[in-house]
Structure 1
Amino acid sequence: MPIDAARAVAAEPRSSEIAWDHKDIQLYHLGLGAGTPATDLDELRYTLESRLHVLPSFATVAGAGMAFAGGLAAPGLDINLASVLHGGQRIELHRPIPVKGTAVSTSRVAAVYDKGKAAVIVVRTAAADEDGPLWTSDAEIFARGEGGFGGERGPSVRAELPDRAPDRTVERAVREDQALLYRLSGDWNPLHADPEFAKLAGFDRPILHGLCTYGMTLKTVVDTLLGGDVARVRAYSTRFAGVVFPGETLRIRTWAGKGRIQASVTAAERDDAPVLADTVVEHM
């Protein structure tokens, strides 16, 4: 059955209560590679409960990231889940995420675009606690073979990099076991752990979660350009351009502007193969 975009967008939002505490935050940060060196005071902000702050990208795994799957279950989206890829991600922070909290997470399909051979589904999730809005998250889901239903093509926004050398270039090693640790925050897809499943998906070995690379990149920007202050981040967006394998090295190039930092992320050992593109951190 073809996608019914109007029905999907008009569907009632789905709400659920989510909760987290310092253990969820620490596990998420460790899954991004935080804690090296273990006694470094800057790293202890990510790993020690008495010093803890919350990296804004935690919003993508709060409540075990169930909003993503819930959005794809909306009426009008009769799609093959095996054809689905995470195409892009954006989060907007309304205020800093507390170390411990309970919130209502509400998800809906904000848009469905017809790209011809594929469809792009935008799942929007808003989280709020008793004090008001916390974050709004947009996940762009790329569904191969699901286009051609006669919908709008949608925007094609690209964040062109400045025509100059990057202000900083930082390399971040991805541990061999990093995908195994990151998946404990809620993404149990065997693609990131099971070699046989990875081969069925066309990879010679398991790949790292795209959202892990997303979080690693934000941590690098916060630590190197924002004085380690997570509260300065206002929004963060990216497009997933390629895969990363555990054991590789991320090369993160950044360009700083007024209230805006752009980044390019590549796999250093594979001739700088693109990993994240159109990556922008908006900050105060």
Structure 2
Amino acid sequence: MPVDAALALAAAPRSAGISWTPRDVQLYHLGIGAGAHPDRDDPAIDPAELRYTLESRLHVLPSFATVAGAGSPGVIRALSMPGVDVDLARVLHGGQDLTLHRPVPASGTATATSRIAAVYDKGEAAVLVMRTEVTDAEGPLWTDDARVFVRGEGGWGGDRGPASRPDPPAGAPDRTVERPVRPDQALLYRLSGDLNPLHADPEFAGRAGFDRPVLHGLCSYGITLKAVVDTLLGGDVTEVRGYDARFTGVVYPGETLRVRMWRGEDRVRVTVDAAERNTTVLTGTVVQHL
């Protein structure tokens, strides 16, 4: 089969140098919608947004780690690993788990080491876990796991892995906010390194089973984390210690994300819907914080 679990798991890790600058951080922040008043129809720039867009006071949203170095995202890197030979049109990003060992600096040079950490047999699909560990001269910076869903590659009798549908949060959310997605959001976000044609090319999107290009899952991921940080963490990006989300539905550029948050002692549980279609797009979402 095109996914050879044993070969993929046995492959040696791959390391590469990465670097980024404040300009890369600013571009990423703009790609997830920073810079505007999120809660009202106001053409002016919200002064609070300058922490994401102005180099003299730049704070780095931790989800920037998923694009730092402007290299291929974990989904694309996984497809180049030994034991993995699949058509990109059959691949979806199933989820992302990010652990922060230290706050992400506004500029840096580091080493990223990636490997296939797990391969699960979901019956109708295979799920690859692409783990990337990033270190700089001072030690570990972050670890991220990209869960890569490959349609049509399951059924070989392998480990099914952990349950993928956690129970939803109980009770009414503590906060609910809505975040509009610009019609050109995917075209702007892809400039941070994810050039998968699924998010820009209508013909490729059709071959993948969609009637038009869809938003990057990691763009929705970043928009959601920013909403939590701005709403419940006082805008303090250094409060975030971990962030895990499952992508359970697609978002189309031009839609509105409805972000519902349940705050706990050291974590915020989140669900996200595409408001116009009342369709859940992120579940099992947890932001761990100080």
Give the TM-score range, shorter chain. over 0.9
Partner residue of 1:219?
226
Q: Secondary structure at the match of 1:63?
A: coil
Distance between the aligned counterparts of 2:68 and 2:152, measured in 1? 30
Letter in structure 1 aligned against 2:279: A
- CA deviation map 1:92-111 (0-9, x unaligned): 00000000100000000000
Are residue 93 (structure 1) and residue 83 (structure 2) matched?
no
Distance between the aligned counterparts of 2:64 and 2:94, measured in 1? 18
Match of 1:282 among 251, 271, 288: 288
- CA deviation map 1:205-260 (0-9, x unaligned): 22111110000000000000001000010000011011111111110000001101
Q: What 5-or-longer segments of structure 1 have no aligned partner?
A: none
Change (3 A) 1:34 1:2: closer
1:65 Cα deviation (Å)? Answer: 4.0
1:263 Cα deviation (Å)? Answer: 0.6
Letter in structure 2 aligned against 1:49: E
Match of 2:192 among 176, 182, 185: 185
Partner residue of 1:21?
21
Match of 1:45 among 32, 51, 56: 51
1:2 Cα deviation (Å)? Answer: 4.9
Match of 1:164 among 171, 174, 182: 171
Partner residue of 1:135?
142
- Farther-moved stretch of structure 1 (97-106 vs 152-161): 152-161
Conserved in 1, the CA contact under 8 Å of 2:96 and 2:244? yes
Partner residue of 2:40?
none
Change (3 A) 1:88 1:65: farther
- CA deviation map 1:51-108 (0-9, x unaligned): 1010000111112242522332222223333211111100000000000100000000
Conserved in 1, the CA contact under 8 Å of 2:90 and 2:208? no
Q: Secondary structure at the match of 1:188?
A: coil
Conserved in 2, the CA contact under 8 Å of 1:89 and 1:139? yes
**For residues 69-88 of structure 1, what are the structure 2 equivalents within 5 Å?**
69-88=76-95
Distance between the aligned counterparts of 2:110 and 2:183, measured in 1? 34
Distance between the aligned counterparts of 1:143 and 1:273, measured in 2? 22
Letter in structure 1 aligned against 2:289: H
Distance between the aligned counterparts of 1:91 and 1:60, measured in 2? 8
1:129 Cα deviation (Å)? Answer: 0.4
Letter in structure 2 aligned against 1:241: T
Q: What 5-or-longer segments of structure 2 have no aligned partner?
A: 38-43
Distance between the aligned counterparts of 1:118 and 1:197, measured in 2? 20
Distance between the aligned counterparts of 2:125 and 2:252, measured in 1? 26
Q: Secondary structure at the match of 2:29?
A: helix
Letter in structure 2 aligned against 1:43: E
Conserved in 2, the CA contact under 8 Å of 1:67 and 1:125? no
Are residue 12 (structure 1) and residue 12 (structure 2) matched?
yes
- Root-mean-square deviation over aligned CA pairs: 1.4
Change (3 A) 1:30 1:124: same
Q: Secondary structure at the match of 1:122?
A: strand
Are residue 126 (structure 1) and residue 126 (structure 2) matched?
no
Distance between the aligned counterparts of 2:178 and 2:200, measured in 1? 24
Change (3 A) 1:191 1:162: closer
Distance between the aligned counterparts of 2:90 and 2:206, measured in 1? 16
Match of 2:158 among 148, 151, 159: 151
Change (3 A) 1:157 1:84: closer
Percent same amino acid among aligned pairs? 67
Distance between the aligned counterparts of 1:195 and 1:81, measured in 2? 15
1:157 Cα deviation (Å)? Answer: 4.6
Count residues with an aligned counterpart: 283
Distance between the aligned counterparts of 2:77 and 2:209, measured in 1? 26
Conserved in 2, the CA contact under 8 Å of 1:21 and 1:100? yes
